[in-house]
Amino acid sequence: MNSLTSTVTLNNGVEMPWVGLGVYKSAPGSETETAVRYALDAGYRHVDTASFYENEQSVGVALAAHDVPVEEVFVTTKLWNDDHGFDRTLRAFDVSMEKLGLETLDLYLIHWPMPDTFAETWKALGRLYSEGRVRAIGVSNFLEHHLRTLAEQSEIVPAVNQIEFHPMLVQQPLLEYCRSFGIRVEAWSPLIRGLFFGHETIARVAEECGKTPAQVLVRWDLQHGVVTIPKSVHRERIVENADVFDFELSETQMQALDELDRNYRLGPHPDEIGR
């Protein structure tokens, strides 16, 4: 892994760039369009959106307008909670694809494990996958028990589990479960939304490396084998967040960051969803 075009091979052979641009809370229209353009200009080849973010269309517009061929950009979108169920999922996928303006999607995720419907919803993702409409399918915010339920009911192993992941929330047993079943972990809120850039340990490691706290947090993901999608809409930060291939955290620095784990969540606990 040495550049923004470096990829990890998913469990079905699909190549996924290690670093992507997150666009949660990027406003639809010019804000998202320029963020995606800045990212592509900076060498990113991976964008993470969701129907819930209401900016799929803006992502599509930016991809279509850029010189980089759209097939060279890895695009993820997600199925929202209201759209679970077999038929509803298929319809929601069509709506997302129409907005994105894509023929084929790289990765489609179930955004949250709605307790009564995620297994049936997974079958619909399986259908989209078998029809070749999406190159890889996965889940988001799934805990081990959700993944076990899928494994009991389906032969298709998710390619990715996108979870809240940063030094304050490591979930080591979930990481190990995913690793042992070939499910690639992807980090959301990798920067902890900037809330802990001034934390003593994070600031110290950043200073030791001559890098910024954001770069240290992104690098920590990569050294854990976790795909990461930091969000910004500002050109200089988009560039900064991806400038992580010219340094390495030492074992001691990795360990110091690992020790910040305190089960701290920015988002809801996955078992609270849909209850």
Q: Between residues 212 and 253, which has the closer beta carbon with respect to ligand NAD?
A: 212
**What region does 102 belong to: left with phi over 0, alpha with psi -120 to 50, or beta?**
beta
Stretch that binds ligand NAD, among 123-131, 150-158, 192-200, 245-253 (CB under 6 A): 192-200
Exposure b/e, 193-230, CB count within 10 A at least 16 = b: eeebbebeebeebbeebebbbbbbbbbbbbbbebbbbb
Active-site residue set: 53
* 240 lies in the site for ligand NAD, by CB under 6 A: yes
**Which stretch, 3-11, 91-99, 114-122, 235-243, contacts ligand NAD (CB under 6 A)?**
235-243
Binds ligand NAD by CB under 6 A, chosen from 188, 202, 227, 253? 188
* Binder of ligand NAD out of 55, 77, 117, 140 (CB under 6 A): 140
**Is residue 274 a contact residue for ligand NAD (CB under 6 A)?**
no
CB of 127 to ligand NAD, least distance (A): 22
When asked if residue 230 is in the footprint of ligand NAD (CB under 6 A), the reply is yes
| Shortest-Cβ-distance residue relative to ligand NAD | 22
Phi/psi-derived region of residue 225, left when phi > 0, alpha when psi is between -120 and 50, beta in every other case: left
Q: Which of 271, 266, 264, 265 is nearest to 146 (CA)?
A: 271
Phi-psi category of residue 153: left, alpha or beta, with phi > 0 → left and psi -120 to 50 → alpha = alpha
Picking from 206, 232, 246, the residue whose alpha carbon sits closest to that of residue 38 is 232
Residue 241 binds ligand NAD, judged by CB under 6 A:
yes
* Dist CA 21 CA 46 (whole Å): 6
Calpha distance 116→177 (Å, rounded): 23
Q: Does 32 bind ligand NAD (CB under 6 A)?
A: no
> Closest separation between CB of residue 8 and ligand NAD, Å?
17
Pick from 194, 204, 224, 254: which binds ligand NAD (CB under 6 A)?
Answer: 194
Contacts of 94 (CB under 8 A, 6+ apart): none
Position 138 contacts ligand NAD (CB under 6 A)? no
Q: Shortest Cβ distance from residue 28 to ligand NAD (Å)?
A: 14
What are the distances in angstroms from CA 78 to CA 81, 110, 144, 186? Answer: 10, 6, 20, 14
Q: What letter would DSSP give residue 116?
A: T
Size of the site for ligand NAD (CB under 6 A): 24
- Between 121 and 140, CB nearer to ligand NAD: 140
Contacts to ligand NAD by CB under 6 A:
22-24, 48, 111, 140-141, 162, 188-194, 214, 229-232, 237, 240-241, 267
